[in-house]
Amino acid sequence: MAEKTTYDWNRGFTLDFSLLNGLSQKGASTKRKLSQMKGMYADSAAFDQAVAEGDPLVYEFYELGVPEHPGDLAFGTSITYSGKVGNEYYMTKGHFHTILETAEVYYTLSGEGFMLTENPEGDVILQPLYPGIAVYIPKRYAHRSINSGKTPLITFFAFRADAGHDYGTIETKGYRKLVVEGLDGKPRMIDNPRWA
C-alpha cells in the first residue's frame, strides 16, 4: 500500500525530493497509459500497435493533495518515460489551467526533453528541459512535457493551488505543433496534421 502522508498546509512542512528517497517513492501517482492518449499521436497505426502490444505507461505524476485555495501552492513531480510512438516522442497530454491566468514553474531534476507551450491565440514556444533548468510557463499557455532522451524525464512543478486543469481543450483540438525525431536522430518541431 502506498504510504499516506499528511502535509501541514497551515504551519508548513519539509519534503525530501532526492530522487532515491523523495516524493516519487511515496504516495500514489496518477498514471497515464498510452491508451488514455488516443488521438494525440500523429501515427495512429503505431499508436494502435503499441497499445495492443502492452499499452505502456507513458507518464505519471505525484501531487500532494493541497487544498484548492488561491493562497496555497500545488507542487509535485512529473515523470515522462522514454519512448516513441512512430517517430513522435512520449509526452504528457498537456493542459491549460482552468483559471487561464495562472503561471507555473517546472524545474528539471533528471532526463532531457522539451516543454511545449502554446496560448489560445496560437503563439507556440518550445523550451528545452535538462537537469538544472527552470522553465517559467506564463499565464494563458498550455504546457506539455516531451521526453526526447533515453532516461525518464523527471521535473518538479509548482503553481497556484486553485488553478485547476483543463485537459479537454487539448484533447479536442490537439496542439498546433508536434515534436518528433528527425531522420538525423535529432528532435524537431513540425505542424500537427490533426490540429483542429
Output the smallest distance, CB 42 to Ni ion, in A.
23
Question: Which secondary structure element, helix H or strand E, spans residue 161, and what is its range?
Answer: none
Q: How far is the CB of 129 from Ni ion (least distance, A)?
A: 14
Number of residues that bind Ni ion (CB under 5 A): 1
Which region, judged by CB under 5 A, interacts with Ni ion, from 12-20, 31-39, 102-110, 180-188? 102-110
Distance CA 125, CA 138 (A): 11
Residue 146 beta carbon to Ni ion: minimum distance, rounded to whole angstroms: 15
Contact 89, 147 (CB under 8 A): yes
| Nearer of residues 104 and 112 to Ni ion, judged by Cβ | 104
Q: Which is nearer to Ni ion, 60 or 180 (CB)?
A: 60
Q: Name the one residue in this structure whose C-alpha cell is 491508451.
A: 35
Q: Looking at beta carbons only, is 93 or 111 nearer to Ni ion?
A: 93
What's the rounded Cα separation, in Å, for the pair 78 and 134? 14
Choose between 102 and 148: whose C-beta lies nearer to Ni ion. Answer: 102
* Selected range binding Ni ion among 18-26, 78-86, 99-107, 148-156, rule: CB under 5 A: 99-107
Q: How far is the CB of 12 from Ni ion (least distance, A)?
A: 23
Say how far residue 164 (Cα) sits from the centre of its chain: 14
Q: From the CB of 137, what's the least distance to Ni ion, in Å?
A: 7
Give which of 139, 125, 146 is closest to 59, Cα–Cα. Answer: 146
Residue 118 found at the interface with Ni ion (CB under 5 A): no
List the beta bridge partners of residue 63: 76
3-state secondary structure of 23: helix
Query: Residue of minimal CB distance from Ni ion?
Result: 104
Among 104, 108, 115, 180, binds Ni ion (CB under 5 A): 104
Cell 513540425 sits at which residue? 190
Tell me the C-alpha distance between 38 and 47, whole Å: 8
